[in-house]
């Protein structure tokens, strides 16, 4: 049996993995580009080679968003305010995505061959890293509650957690995205995507709002 804290931590890690899988399932995060690379080169190797830059760009986007919060947690006395602000930020961005679902025009200027840059920009534009912030802050909570340790130790622990959360999330994302790309490339074909796939933009925005609301409720 899990203790209360252990159960909460397990659920938070499950949320990290689930959000990564959800990102991977979303074609907007890039797996169709891997399919395209495989079809153009007529080789599955090209498909799998494209997954590396896509994963790297997504991971970098996660780190760019989460690392500043790792440093903010140094302000232990403001922990609750930081968590509330992060929750409101996620809710606000989710509402913005509900109202405005257009992608920034500059994304279209990035060549598909620049997969890592494209993946990074798209993840930032979608607010993908913001979804991880409340989860990350929850995982850091137990460490903060143990008292004021040396600042350097706290920095190292929080930076390490930020890297771990981002890496696990990106690994789940590219695993699911890679599986989707392989199924489309090997068995289903691009026609299946154009006819059968559903638009995840609205669901994505609602998910951001939901994550922010849950985090806000748990904080308050």
For the chain, what's the residue count?
220
pLDDT of residue 56: 94
pLDDT tens, position by position, 59-69: 999 999 888 87
Query: So what's the pLDDT on residue 172?
Result: 95
What pLDDT does residue 1 have? 46
Taking alpha carbons only, the member of 115, 137, 101, 13 closest to residue 55 is: 115
Looking at residue 149, what is its pLDDT? 45
Distance CA 117, CA 83 (A): 30
- How confident is the model at residue 160, as a pLDDT? 83
What is this structure's pTM? 0.76
Q: Which residue has the tokens 């499950």?
A: 14
Give the H/E segment covering residue 31: helix 31-41
Residues of the chain under the 50 pLDDT cut: 1, 108, 142-155
In 9-156, where do the E strands start and end?
none
Q: What pLDDT is recorded for position 137?
A: 77
Residue 145: predicted pLDDT: 45
């Amino acid at each position: 049996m899990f203790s209360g804290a252990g159960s909460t931590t397990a659920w938070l890690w499950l949320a990290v993995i689930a959000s990564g899988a959800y990102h991977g399932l979303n074609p907007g995060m890039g797996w169709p580009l891997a399919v395209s690379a495989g079809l153009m080169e007529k080789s599955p190797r090209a498909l799998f080679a494209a997954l590396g830059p896509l994963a790297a760009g997504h991971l970098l986007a996660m780190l760019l968003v989460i690392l500043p919060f790792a440093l903010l947690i140094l302000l232990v006395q403001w922990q609750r305010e930081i968590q509330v602000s992060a929750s409101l930020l996620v809710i606000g961005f989710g509402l913005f995505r509900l109202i405005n679902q257009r992608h920034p025009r500059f994304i279209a200027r990035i060549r598909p061959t620049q997969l890592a840059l494209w993946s990074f920009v798209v993840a930032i534009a979608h607010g993908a890293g913001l979804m991880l912030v409340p989860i990350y802050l929850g995982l850091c909570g137990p460490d903060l509650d143990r008292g004021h340790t040396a600042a350097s130790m706290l920095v190292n622990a929080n930076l390490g957690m930020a890297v771990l959360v981002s890496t696990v999330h990106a690994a789940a994302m590219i695993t699911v995205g890679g599986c989707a790309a392989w199924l489309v490339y090997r068995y289903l074909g691009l026609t299946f995507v154009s006819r059968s796939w559903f638009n995840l933009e609205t669901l994505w925005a609602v998910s951001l709002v939901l994550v922010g609301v849950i985090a806000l409720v748990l904080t308050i």
